[in-house]
Structure 1
């Protein structure tokens, strides 16, 4: 969307309409855009309809529309936000050139795009599918690295839906927001390196990678697992670790999230039963994000908790990093997570 407003548009209209960027306009179907388009009419100083969904633009209109867009005269309605979100979610890098979207709207786009990418990858965890996920993940990290406080809007997109892809996105968003709270000063002082941030993000989203190797009936079971089934599930950190080499993801940040997200500082976790400072910062962070998101997510056989209930339970649990649980408790309150 355009960064320069040619016209004095009232705050009310700014809430209802927003300018469209030439790059984003060019990503639409040329003759049949998927949403209604409006133009600013200088004669009456207001926004009027230009194109209605279901119609067809002529070649002359296409040229005129391109010129009007460059001039900052073309708008779309926020009523069409769901259509816009879906469209941009398939071309996620366009988020970085759209300066008029609100943070909460961008959060909607990232949620839809990354949930879809995670679902595709977990259904087919092979390098070619992973590359598409990685491309979109790098758009997310670019967006957040510019301003880590943007992670707050993402954390507010916490969903209660059941499913591996929903848990992955929840854990990624909550983990990155928590990281932003813990390392805020480091971001300000340039102490967080982009490469490390990229890899940590990948680890947070993919920590349950090994679950894709478990039998489908275990993943879909609507009753508590048997002892034998639980033992199979407990192998998923090791299974995920083994899969990282095939994906060319043998980085410490990713490995720590995948292998250590069920470890506990008390040594009561699995699969290695490591404890204390032997458990990496990334492992402790991912363990907390994973547990919190598992508690608030709906499961077929267990009642989910509210974010407040989950944060309070984790705060009182000595098996987790106490500094991190304290920051999580404050973050849940600050962001008013529900």
Structure 2
């Protein structure tokens, strides 16, 4: 990243983002999507450089590049939704852009990961998966520096159920639960980075087989026919086939994909596994998958509130690992894992 020469006052940072060349290059060259301001050193304040609806001349384009390189180009925080959209396409910038607030980083991560997941589920091939994996690794890099940051993310779960929204919600909630179980109130954790990376990928990918199920079956509000139900029950095995094609067949992903619908009493599918035949990853992913389905709005009904849903899971000891669900319930009810759903733009 280009070195910023201007030492931005805190008061300025509260109202504006200091943009860098990577962000500038994500904008249209001649018609940026948001107003741009330049810092005028002589008077010590910002003044408009470009307004939405105008067109930059070649001379202004060159001038803007100089301003960005010098650290004198800014955009208003009131344009945050537009800024989020653009930085989401270059997610690694959240790790180095010091102007972003924690809440803004969480917004960007959620939007970027959802966008990548949508693209991957539309086209579940290796090249698209690699872009998704890169963004998931930005998330794990962010969390590895401070696992307490997961709290900001679990407050931003998608309210509406779609396949992509469900996968992202499951990834975030699953990581929150996993980190809680591996740490002491987010203050002490010795989690090898590879373990964190693999667990994150597994959770985000667990439902990839659903991308191979026709949308009219996935989204059907009425009862499925026997034939449709049979197709739906194939999605764990279809997901395993996708893992092979995208070269993502590592242990955690295989278990999350194949076992997230297995149940402790053997009533699940596809292999009717029970109790300790189901791996820890499979049991945790199954709990998270069910929970995230329970708290989101669907065509046939509104989602439960997060606390009611976790209580219901904890009561279902026949199908779900009671040790994990009781722990999960405790973390949610005490707000150590402050789960909340909301409309996300």
SS in 2 for 1:90: helix
Distance 1:171 1:112 in 2: 15
**Higher RCO (CA < 8 A, seq sep 6+):** 2
Question: What displacement does 1:238 show?
Answer: 1.9
Give the direction of change, closer, same or farther, for the CA distance of 1:281–1:162 in structure 2 (3 Å limit).
same
1:224 paired with 2:223, answer yes
**Per-residue Cα deviation, 1:84-123 (whole angstroms, up to 9, x for no partner):** 1111122222222212112222222222222222222222
SS in 2 for 1:245: helix
Distance 2:323 2:43 in 1: 58
Structure 1 residue aligned with 2:9:
8
Is the Cα–Cα contact under 8 Å of residues 263 and 287 in structure 1 kept in the other structure?
A: yes
**Per-residue Cα deviation, 1:212-254 (whole angstroms, up to 9, x for no partner):** 2334431232202234433332222122123211111110010
Q: Name the stretch that deviates more: 229-238 or 21-30.
A: 21-30
Question: What displacement does 1:294 show?
Answer: 0.5
Is the Cα–Cα contact under 8 Å of residues 5 and 71 in structure 2 kept in the other structure?
A: yes
Distance 2:149 2:5 in 1: 22
Distance 1:101 1:323 in 2: 38
Distance 2:327 2:52 in 1: 47
Distance 1:74 1:63 in 2: 13
Question: What displacement does 1:79 show?
Answer: 1.1
Question: What displacement does 1:303 show?
Answer: 3.9
Distance 2:101 2:267 in 1: 43
How many pairs were matched up?
A: 336
Distance 2:21 2:145 in 1: 23
Structure 2 unaligned segments of length 5 or more: list them. Answer: none
Distance 2:249 2:66 in 1: 48
Is the Cα–Cα contact under 8 Å of residues 13 and 99 in structure 2 kept in the other structure?
A: no
Normalising by the residue count of structure 1, what TM-score does the alignment of the two structures yield?
Answer: 0.88
Is the Cα–Cα contact under 8 Å of residues 16 and 74 in structure 2 kept in the other structure?
A: yes
**Per-residue Cα deviation, 1:250-274 (whole angstroms, up to 9, x for no partner):** 1001011101111223333222232
Note the aligned Cα RMSD (angstroms).
2.7
Give the direction of change, closer, same or farther, for the CA distance of 1:147–1:5 in structure 2 (3 Å limit).
farther
Structure 2 residue aligned with 1:329:
329
1:55 paired with 2:54, answer yes
Structure 2 residue aligned with 1:184:
183
Normalising by the residue count of structure 2, what TM-score does the alignment of the two structures yield?
Answer: 0.86
Distance 1:251 1:24 in 2: 35
Structure 1 unaligned segments of length 5 or more: list them. Answer: none
Is the Cα–Cα contact under 8 Å of residues 23 and 86 in structure 2 kept in the other structure?
A: no
Distance 2:271 2:5 in 1: 55
SS in 2 for 1:91: helix
Give the direction of change, closer, same or farther, for the CA distance of 1:63–1:302 in structure 2 (3 Å limit).
closer
